[in-house]
A and B are shown apart, each in its own frame.
Chain A
Amino acid sequence: MPISNEFFKGFYKENPVFKLALGLCPTLAVSNSLQNAVGMGAAATFVLLCSNVIVSLIRKGVPKKIRIPIYIVIIATFVTIVDLVMAGFAPDLHKSLGIFVPLIVVNCVILGRAEAFAGKNSVAYSFIDGLGMGIGFTFALSAVAVVRELLGSGKLWGFPIMGSGFEPVLLLILPPGAFLTLGLFVGLFNWLDNKRTTA
């Protein structure tokens, strides 16, 4: 498979959130504004890139039986780095993401890629895979966030753009809105798929 496919599969064909149903907790929790979504996406992409590269580098020396604990330690190390850097340079973002920054450790997208891809493929491919999947994850988060922020508060990236006559749908900013929006998005992707295969 050409290396560009590894990059682009994360966007649509194997989108971690809409297609593989991985990493759902952060998708639901931080998609109440576009800023949070992009911040979370960037943090997860960084961790995914680094862990994919390291896992791929050491894949020949890792005993099969204890590979999962080793992967978790690698991931936790990078998550700690992100946590500290974010607390230092973007304290507002760090505060609004809350416990979901340390919880990147248990984001199944990252462990899933380590197990399913980086543990079996070369460093270059794993790097591209991590980048593609990370951007795909960020794209999914942002898509949900745009809908929720735009309709829920009439703003985008914190700027009001819907005009004064717009009555915001408060429900979308609240927790139920996350479930409803993500459900409809997954449904939309299924529908697009069906159309493609039948056409």
Chain B
Amino acid sequence: MELSELFIIALSAIFINNFVLMQFLGICPYIGVSKNMDSALGMGMAVIFVMTMASMVTWLINAFLLQPTTSNIFYLIFSPQEPPDLTYLKTIAFILVIASLVQFVEIVVQKVSPALYKSLGIYLPLITTNCAILGVALLNLEKDFSFIESIIHGISAGIGFTLALVLMAGIRERLELAPVPKPLKGIPIAFLMAGLMSIAFLGFSGLKLN
């Protein structure tokens, strides 16, 4: 595996296939938490952290519990005729793992660093139902990434999410003072802004990466 490959994965997850603006993952927190800069940063950090953890854990789960290989743990324990193919359980397995992972991270952060918990704490429960997290796990699987590639993809997808969220928060803080037509106030104008940002990000798809 080359370093340049990892670089390409990172760059394309942050800009070209930006999770929010190009792939429509994690729209709910994007619209909900982008009203001010502080909460946007907090949410972004929490997402980067959980996404990285989720990429690692779901990769391991998939490789050693679900895939029909000889290193499948069920195969090693029960030694049936051939390795069981449990990939059809991936949706259930992943969502349960992510839900418990978020709970676990919340408890650990609370014990280890109360200061961090204070700034991230309220965002963690929201993350379970953030489709970007399950999305990153499923995309890792779909693109057949290795362990290291999955981690890089997870981190950079989180960075891309944070980038979009923070940019949006900056715009919306100023938008508060702008004379927006009444029916467009709130969510509609946020969507229109997101559309314009998405046009800007569309420019990145012209990048040639190899």
Tell me, rounded to whole Å, the shortest Cβ–Cβ distance linking A122 to chain B: 26
Write the A62-76 contact mask toward B (1 if CB under 8 angstroms, else 0).
Answer: 000000010011001
**B22 close to chain A: CB less than 8 A:** yes
Assuming the A-B contacts A28-B24, A171-B199, are A105 and B184 also in contact, with contact meaning beta carbons closer than 8 angstroms in the complex? no
Chain B residue nearest in CB terms to A174: B202
Interface size on B, residues (CB 8 A): 42
A182 to B23, alpha carbons, bound, how many Å?
Answer: 15
Write the A7-47 contact mask toward B (1 if CB under 8 angstroms, else 0).
Answer: 00000000000000110111011000000000000000000
A111 to B191, alpha carbons, bound, how many Å?
Answer: 23
Tell me, rounded to whole Å, the shortest Cβ–Cβ distance linking B194 to chain A: 4
Contact A175 B190 (CB under 8 A): no
Contact B88 A80 (CB under 8 A): yes
Which residues of chain B are near A191, meaning CB under 8 Å?
Answer: 183
Assuming the A-B contacts A106-B129, A175-B202, A176-B199, are A99 and B138 also in contact, with contact meaning beta carbons closer than 8 angstroms in the complex? yes
Contact B188 A190 (CB under 8 A): yes
List B residues 20-43 near A (Cβ within 8 Å).
Answer: 21-28, 31
**A188 close to chain B: CB less than 8 A:** yes
Contact B135 A190 (CB under 8 A): no
Contact among A76, A175, A187, A194 for B95, CB-based, below 8 A: A76
Contact among A21, A77, A176 for B195, CB-based, below 8 A: A176
Write the B170-197 contact mask toward A (1 if CB under 8 angstroms, else 0).
Answer: 0000000000011111011111101110
Interface of A, secondary structure class, is helix
A22 to B29, alpha carbons, bound, how many Å?
Answer: 11
Contact among B96, B99, B191 for A186, CB-based, below 8 A: B191
List A residues 72-118 near B (Cβ within 8 Å).
Answer: 72-73, 76-77, 79-80, 83-84, 98-99, 102-103, 105-108, 111
* A22, A98, A176 interface centre (most CB from chain B within 10 Å): A176
Contact A111 B129 (CB under 8 A): yes
Tell me, rounded to whole Å, the shortest Cβ–Cβ distance linking A38 to chain B: 18
Write the B85-96 contact mask toward A (1 if CB under 8 angstroms, else 0).
Answer: 000111110011
Assuming the A-B contacts A174-B202, A176-B199, are A187 and B184 also in contact, with contact meaning beta carbons closer than 8 angstroms in the complex? yes
Tell me, rounded to whole Å, the shortest Cβ–Cβ distance linking A41 to chain B: 16
**B101 close to chain A: CB less than 8 A:** no
Contact A180 B96 (CB under 8 A): no
Assuming the A-B contacts A80-B88, A191-B183, are A102 and B138 also in contact, with contact meaning beta carbons closer than 8 angstroms in the complex? yes
Contact B88 A176 (CB under 8 A): no
Interface of B, secondary structure class, is helix
**A184 close to chain B: CB less than 8 A:** yes
Tell me, rounded to whole Å, the shortest Cβ–Cβ distance linking A98 to chain B: 8
**B151 close to chain A: CB less than 8 A:** no
**B105 close to chain A: CB less than 8 A:** no
Which residues of chain B are near A183, meaning CB under 8 Å?
Answer: 184, 187-192, 194-195
Which residues of chain B are near A73, meaning CB under 8 Å?
Answer: 92, 96
**A141 close to chain B: CB less than 8 A:** no
A188 to B129, alpha carbons, bound, how many Å?
Answer: 28
Contact B88 A102 (CB under 8 A): no
Assuming the A-B contacts A105-B134, A180-B192, A190-B184, are A83 and B91 also in contact, with contact meaning beta carbons closer than 8 angstroms in the complex? yes
Given contacts A176-B195, A176-B198, A180-B192, 17 further A-B contacts (CB under 8 A): A24-B27, A25-B24, A25-B26, A69-B96, A83-B91, A99-B142, A102-B90, A105-B91, A105-B134, A174-B202, A175-B21, A180-B195, A183-B189, A183-B190, A184-B188, A186-B187, A187-B181
Residues of A within 8 A of B (CB): 21-22, 24-26, 28-29, 69, 72-73, 76-77, 79-80, 83-84, 98-99, 102-103, 105-108, 111, 171, 174-180, 182-184, 186-188, 190-191, 194
Top 10 A-B pairs, shortest CB-CB distance: A183-B191, A179-B195, A191-B183, A187-B188, A180-B195, A176-B198, A29-B24, A190-B183, A28-B24, A183-B192
